[in-house]
Amino acid sequence: MSESNEKEYFSRIHRAQDYVEAHLGEPMRLEEIAREACFSPFHFHRIFTFITGETLYQFILRLRLERAAHLLSQHTVKPITEIALDLGFGSAASFARAFRIKYGMSASAFRKNCKVESKNWKDLESLGRYLAAQISTQPSRRHSMKSMNSITAKQPVGHSIVDLPERTFAYIRHIGPYAGDTALFQRLYGQLCQWAGPMGYLEKPETEMLCIYHDDPDITKEDDLRISIGITVPGGTPVPPPFQTMAIPAGKYIAAKFDIDASEYMNAWAWVMNEWLPGSGWQCDDRPCYEKSLNDPAKDPRHRHLIEICEPVKPLC
């Protein structure tokens, strides 16, 4: 397969994955998902398995179970049966069997263990979302809940609840480990700038540079973690492979701005998730969270990172 064809194949499969993620609670047919990837159903299933190492069914089941584990780890008390049905499982019994096979315990035991371990950590929304394009100073590639609790929260420059419109996001994706991998982020941002720079997108004041985290690294295996790095563009903007586009849903977000150095991304996320969220009257929503880059640290005289953390929220009820 030529390099250009390979990039096109990967882009199409990523579009299919995005479609699945956005419709986890709905019945999904092979034909619909294949249409998103512009493949026939027969060829799509074989190509999907070859590229991802999972069948389509395995991928959908894994995301549903990981989303369930994420919901069970939150401090809200949503009935397990309701979680199962909301995520597209046909019955509580089928969910219970699948959950026990994957996690080695019942969903109720999983929820109980999360409550015991969390202590002052009021929401386990995603312990790895602070891991953006920075140089990690931590010795471990993964950060446990206990280590996160020991992090001193970094106070923001400012924060507010904002209503954000739907936006089109042009991105390049990485699947696999990423924590502390400076070379990886340099490569991804380099590819982004090589495409977006000559097109003039980076000069437009309305353009936002974002890093989206799709998975919880305390639930998803490192080899399956997905991050997307890119920029907002006008709807309908054509992009070349391996870039692709997705819609970032509209809704309410806590938007917190930070002035940090390269080692303080964890501290910034600790403020949002550990300090602000528990007493805010809000809870995390299922829409993607992301970091917005507000400056180029290399051009900053202080070499500081100006970022805005945007975590989707909904009222706590």
- Report the alpha-carbon distance of residue 176 to residue 307 in Å, rounded: 24
Mapping DSSP to helix (H, G, I), strand (E, B) and coil, where does residue 284 land? strand
Pairwise CA distance, residues 112 & 273, whole Å:
20
The domain ranges of the chain are: 3-118, 145-315
Q: What CATH number does the domain located at 145-315 have?
A: 3.20.80.10
Of 302 and 217, the one with more pLDDT: 302
Q: In the structure, what pLDDT confidence band is assigned to residue 75 with cuts at 50, 70 and 90? A: low
Please report the pLDDT score of residue 118 as a whole number. Answer: 41
CA pair distance 178, 189, nearest whole angstrom = 13
CB 114 within 8 A of CB 75: no
Q: Spell out the residues 6+ positions from residue 23 whose beta carbon is closer than 8 angstroms to its own.
A: none
Instruction: Give the Cβ contact number of residue 186 at 10 Å.
Output: 11
What's the pLDDT band for 273 if we cut at 50, 70, 90?
Answer: confident
| 145-315 has the same fold as 3-118 | no
User: How confident is the model over 226-264, as pLDDT tens digits?
Assistant: 999 999 999 999 999 889 999 999 999 999 999 999 888
Span 176-217, pLDDT tens digits: 988 878 788 888 988 999 999 999 998 899 999 999 988 877
Q: Domain 3-118, CATH 1.10.10.60 — does that match?
A: yes
pTM metric for this prediction: 0.67
Beta bridge partner(s), residue 252 = 163
